[in-house]
Amino acid sequence: MVKVVKFGGSSLASADQFKKVGNIIHSDESRRYVVPSAPGKRFDQDTKVTDMLYKCYAEASEGRSYDKQLKAIKERYNEIIKGLGLKLSLEEEFADIKKQFGVKAGQDYAASRGEYLNGIIMASYLGFEFIDAASVICFDKNGEFDPEKTNKVLGDRLADTKNAVIPGFYGAKPNGEVVTFSRGGSDVTGSIVARALKADVYENWTDVSGFLAADPRIVENPKPITIITYKELRELSYMGASVLHESAIFPVRKEGIPINIRNTNAPEDKGTMIVETTCNKPDCIITGIAGKKGFVSISIDKDMMNSEIGFGRKVLQVFEDNGISFEHMPSGIDTMTVFVHQDEFVEKEQKVLAQLHRAVHPDSVELEADLALIAVVGRGMKNNSGIAGNIFSALAKAKINIKMIDQGSSELNIIIGVRNRYFEDAIKTIYGVFVPEQ
């Protein structure tokens, strides 16, 4: 059995956290390949090392003094080294970083040092081999990640390596220039490493015991999700449930490798398993509820719209021309409504309206702002009748007016639009329909 284990920033923020990680790794021999993040926050007001590095590099590239900032970063690492009782010095590494800052090695290079240095400490602490991600995570000359080349290079490099630490978040172009993924990208590295090894499981260790069926800031004590499919997760993450980087599922999905979200501070919890497909049915029909506020609906009315070929395309073209992506598009016989993000739309509002008039000559266009969308997601909804009915009657009883309903034919999710001010109550009400109070 081979497991790839990725540890997030809060799991590696201090020597004490490193010790927990060490215990987790040593308690299971199959945890052979480790992908660390940079040290994260030790307490609420603390700063992540990655943020310190961005700031430090910004000072350096503007020609200001950055000695103090670099020293503070060095102290973060030295504190960990000391707390772990290691005989390791990062002096040479820091001298090199200073040199590279001097020749303006780039913001990505600067940010990547957080993971790089943490990887060196982790390898020394565990007695594992250190593999610089720049040598195995390949980007092309335009800075795009090259998955197939990486899979080959990484697979070959790890074939005879029993245990290794590979820092997360970055790789390099063919000329050696360091490139990072987007923020939170160590999740992606872990997934890439798991794919290259055809690992049995990709364990992603963080500071929560997996996904919850609803946001705990809205619903009191929501049920943990034990199993979720990749597709369900996509729906929920898109609507704001954020535990994992959204690109992290793609590499492992290619090989059918499950992801197990685990909690470094509660290793006995089983966490959430993310799988391609499963016979396991959630005991309360739905898997989870998530939502977002801040949408605008643009309703376009025109008599005989349904017989006007190309109407929808012309409308969407206006949004495309203005760089606005649309979220949902419910329609009636003579109406078409487009839901967009309010913050993408407000500034361009009048321009979009004028262009809509020119493009399709509508009878009227109406706007409604401050709307929220809620996604009720669950593989258990398929072929189960009465689900939408139950949601709607519960919302009606709670006097919450539904502005929009959208159910895809996959029956994996139902999207409900309500006014922003009903958002929390609507989520609580829907949750109550599926998870009766104990």
Closer residue to ligand ASP (CB): 168 or 210? 168
CB of 30 to ligand ASP, least distance (A): 23
Q: How many angstroms separate the Cα of 316 from the Cα of each of 35, 298, 328, 373, 407? A: 42, 11, 11, 20, 20
CA distance 118 to 111: 12
CA distance 234 to 231: 5
Residue in 10, 69, 151, 186 binding ligand ASP, rule: CB under 6 A: 186
Query: Residue 9, interface with ligand ASP (CB under 6 A)?
Result: yes
Closer residue to ligand ASP (CB): 9 or 362? 9
Query: Residue 183, interface with ligand ASP (CB under 6 A)?
Result: yes
Kind of pairing between the strands at 335-341 and 404-407:
unpaired
What is the number of other CB atoms lying within 10 angstroms of the CB of residue 202? 30
Amino acid at 159: A
CA distance 37 to 278: 30
Closer residue to ligand ASP (CB): 111 or 373? 111
Closer residue to ligand ASP (CB): 82 or 183? 183
CB of 68 to ligand ASP, least distance (A): 21
Phi (first) and psi of residue 35, to 5 degrees: -120, 105
CB of 330 to ligand ASP, least distance (A): 36
Closer residue to ligand ASP (CB): 262 or 379? 262
Residue in 184, 288, 378, 380 binding ligand ASP, rule: CB under 6 A: 184
Residue in 119, 167, 168, 417 binding ligand ASP, rule: CB under 6 A: 168
Closer residue to ligand ASP (CB): 21 or 414? 21
Residue in 14, 17, 37, 151 binding ligand ASP, rule: CB under 6 A: 37
CA distance 94 to 67: 11
Which residue has tokens 């790789």? 171
Q: How many angstroms separate the Cα of 300 from the Cα of each of 126, 344, 346? A: 62, 19, 17
Binding segment for ligand ASP (CB under 6 A), chosen from 68-76, 177-185, 293-301, 426-434, is: 177-185
Phi (first) and psi of residue 205, to 5 degrees: -95, 125
Q: How many angstroms separate the Cα of 140 from the Cα of each of 13, 108, 146, 246? A: 32, 15, 6, 21
Question: Which residues within the stretch 93-132 sit at the binding site for ligand ASP (CB under 6 A)?
Answer: 114
How many residues touch ligand ASP (CB under 6 A)? 13
Query: Residue 291, interface with ligand ASP (CB under 6 A)?
Result: no
Find, among 130, 163, 150, the residue nearest to 29 by Cα.
Answer: 163
Sign of the CA dihedral 97, 98, 102, 107? positive
Closer residue to ligand ASP (CB): 116 or 422? 116
CB of 301 to ligand ASP, least distance (A): 45
CB of 187 to ligand ASP, least distance (A): 6
Closer residue to ligand ASP (CB): 24 or 371? 24
Query: Residue 77, interface with ligand ASP (CB under 6 A)?
Result: no
Binding segment for ligand ASP (CB under 6 A), chosen from 181-189, 191-199, 222-230, 321-329, is: 181-189
Six token digits for residue 86: 């290691």
Residues that bind ligand ASP (CB under 6 A): 9, 37-38, 48, 50, 114, 168-169, 183-187
